[in-house]
Amino acid sequence: MLLTSCSKDEVSPDDAISDNIASLTLGPVLQGANVNRQQQITPEGTPACALDVIPAYAELRLIYGTNNIEVITTVEIGVDSNGDLFTKYSEDLEIPIPSGQTSVSVTLTDFVVYDENDVVIWVAPKEGSTYAQFVTDPLSNNWSLRAGSKNYEEVEVICFDDREVNLYGYQFFDIIPVPLYEFCIFANYCDDDGRHYTADYDFNIYFYDGNREDGKGELIYEEDSPLGPITGDDNGTYWAEPLCIAVPGPGDLASDVPYLVFEATVIDWPNYYTVDGNVETTTQMLTWEVIESLLDRDGDDETTNYWHIFFNCDEEDGPSGNL
């Protein structure tokens, strides 16, 4: 079902290049589709694509050589007679070969594709991210390029949904050009005897609508199903990772005016706990003051504090800990 990456070195008298560089061309490969597609085909679970979207350029980051020299650049995307996509010539993708060496190591760490309206359409997911499972070779990709060679390397990409920006393995501000901020949640559930459990829960977040009694306006994340934390069981030790999502800033609203609202509902965790009585749901209005208070911007090592939810517990919800 998945497309695999390939590599080819092409050198001929007509396109030979200097023997002290290696030229790199990157070909974005969209899962199960091509530039002339009539129907979008993607693996089950990946974000849907808009039909007839045409890639215009890619923003990418790579490092090369033993000193990990960084290249961050924007390269136009073309299409050949077979419908295959490729990055057009760029001096930034001519990689110098160290003196006395015959090859150079190159690592591609970031690859994001935009349309002509500067909207992100495709992203190469990174190894270890939630969406890495949908490609055979997630970033980072590593190659050894030979001096005097022209190299074509395929990069697997999937469609991009900005409501799920964190699932590709990038920081949200690496992909979205408008300011977004990280908001993280952790939760505990207490049974009627007061015993604490790490909680599993459904989570939705909305823009605030003051005309509605519940305040829930437009849904920001997961239109078909709610988000929830990643949970696990290590030989009877149950754990859940904080759920972190990217949220927008308040725009022109005052910092003390609600502009977001979240709704979290505790759910059963088989073999660990069963929710007693009625299923508990908590709803919280969020102002910019709340979001900003969780962003620890002191020092060089920025962290994000999380909002702690207590279902059926004596403790009150609020900020706690840091990530």
81 belongs to a structural domain: yes
69 belongs to a structural domain: yes
On whether the CB atoms of residues 280 and 312 are closer than 8 A, the answer is: yes
What SS3 class is residue 292?
A: helix
Q: State which residues form the domain around 62.
A: 7-164
107 belongs to a structural domain: yes
Together in a domain, 155 and 12? yes
**Does residue 14 have a pLDDT over 50?**
no
**Which of residues 99, 133, 164 is at a domain's end?**
164
Give the pLDDT confidence of 204-220 residue by residue, as tens digits: 888 899 899 889 988 77
Give the pLDDT confidence of 59-113 residue by residue, as tens digits: 999 999 989 999 999 999 998 888 889 999 999 999 998 888 889 999 999 999 9
Q: Which element (helix H / strand E) includes 59?
A: strand 55-64
pLDDT confidence bin for 177, thresholds 50/70/90: low
2 belongs to a structural domain: no
171 belongs to a structural domain: no
Q: Look up the pTM and report it.
A: 0.54
40 belongs to a structural domain: yes
Per-residue pLDDT, averaged over 168-192, amounts to: 77
* Count of the separate structural domains present in the chain: 2
128 phi and psi, to 5 degrees? Answer: 90, -10
What SS3 class is residue 133?
A: helix
Give the pLDDT confidence of 300-319 residue by residue, as tens digits: 445 678 999 999 998 999 88
Average pLDDT, the chain: 81
Per-residue tokens: 286: 């969020």
pLDDT confidence bin for 154, thresholds 50/70/90: very high
**Does residue 7 have a pLDDT over 50?**
no
Query: Which pLDDT belongs to residue 46?
Result: 60
CA dist 269 to 50, 73, 188, 199, 236, Å?
A: 36, 46, 12, 8, 12
Together in a domain, 280 and 258? yes
Together in a domain, 153 and 268? no
Per-residue pLDDT, averaged over 159-179, amounts to: 68
Per-residue pLDDT, averaged over 7-11, amounts to: 42
217 belongs to a structural domain: yes
Together in a domain, 263 and 307? yes
